[in-house]
Structure 1
């Protein structure tokens, strides 16, 4: 329980750092706003064209009775929009970090300097760092996609499945957001994507303590614009924690202690 609450305090640390620097808070909100506009626009387009898309996907139902054909296509349309919405929620932060990579790198380095953390890397140039960021973002989407499909299928089970999908979705989202938020430090040090999984598994309670409130808050419209830059800072500290075997690396001014 102590590790879980310690992880939750890391998100609070992120808010504390950014409240002392409104410029960085505003800077971090811009990529999140762009991602929200893109994803909502895509979802809106899918909803608008879903009748035509569903009809194209179910030509075999053209000869069915009208009621049966309509029921099938309405259910399939709901399934497509629901799956797209769930995938969008899980990939929102990956897209935001991809769009705002330089912004969030600057925010993370600002936080590290404020707290006296090690900002050294493996010496890779900006082009190589960008390539790593794109590759890791694609890997994160590859992780989120099958997870979204599995959760959607579970959610089709009446009552019990719907409850399980909500709970498992929150836990899965917490893990994904943690993987995303530690990426700046891991990427700068040249550590592969798989190393994130390994290191975070060693500190599951702390990771879920950080990721669960961050994920749930990111589901709240508008609030996510503030939560994401705060989570970037918290994830940066989390990365230093797990890479330094849990050593307390947070300046007491920001730890809430």
Structure 2
């Protein structure tokens, strides 16, 4: 097992790559506009779903805890509170994954351009295919659906654990962030991986071999996506960061001067 300091350094490096993605994306107004269009559409769709979920959360909690209808206070209230917390936690994980997948699908041509330009400035993909977006969009969509299904499957035990008082409202959210961060790292690197002709299996294997790096990148994305309006800016910036993360996994150059990085976004 690697020393704790090494694991922490890798985790911090993943977060740093995300920060560089934000810097690359935020320096060019045109990129901001291109990235915002699909992000806003997805935000409106998921925001509507969250509005109705929170509006009816008490009714939903009561419906899934029908067995507690005849219980006295405080047990009925505690059970329904735990159910409500579990529903929100599960919904957060699923909605974050769905938001990312939907945004990537709607904005696939835009995000492919962003990723491709970053790759080009840092040396391209030597010795590997560099497929255009229209040849990867179906693969991206299929892999995203698989990850959403996996996220739902993982959400079931988290939902059940949400019924446990205290534990369900403290430990479960932390597990939610770790699991969600991992799945987001896998999902966001789909753009640069699929352009290389590599699918979900290869992607997961490489990220698994560099798990602290992947979690350092994905967990901050997950947390930021929980912030309503900040979520609009995350996916396009994270695509730029995930391109750098992918290059690092393949041992390709990722270090350039600030001037060089500004030329990346200026070309889009």
1:158 aligns with 2:165: yes
Which residue matches 2:237?
Answer: 230
CA 1:128 to 1:19, structure 2 compared with 1: closer, same or farther past 3 Å? closer
Which residue matches 2:33?
Answer: 26
- More deviation, 173-182/124-133: 124-133
Q: What root-mean-square deviation, in Å, do the aligned CA atoms of Structure 1 and Structure 2 show?
A: 3.2
CA distance in 2, matches of 1:80, 1:192: 32
SS of equivalent residue, structure 2 residue 118: helix
Displacement of 1:14: 0.6
CA distance in 2, matches of 1:205, 1:66: 45
Q: TM-score, normalised by structure 2?
A: 0.78
1:249 aligns with 2:254: yes
Is the 8 Å Cα contact of residues 29 and 228 (structure 1) preserved in structure 2?
Answer: no
1:17-166 to 2 correspondences below 5 Å: 17-45=24-52, 78=84, 83-118=90-125, 122=129, 127-166=134-173
Q: What whole-Å deviation, never above 9, does each CA across 1:102-123 have from its counterpart, x for those lacking one?
A: 1111111122233333288647
Displacement of 1:24: 0.8
Which residue matches 2:205?
Answer: 198
Q: Structure 2: any 5+ residue segments left out of the alignment?
A: 1-7, 262-268
Q: TM-score, normalised by structure 1?
A: 0.81
| Count of paired positions | 249
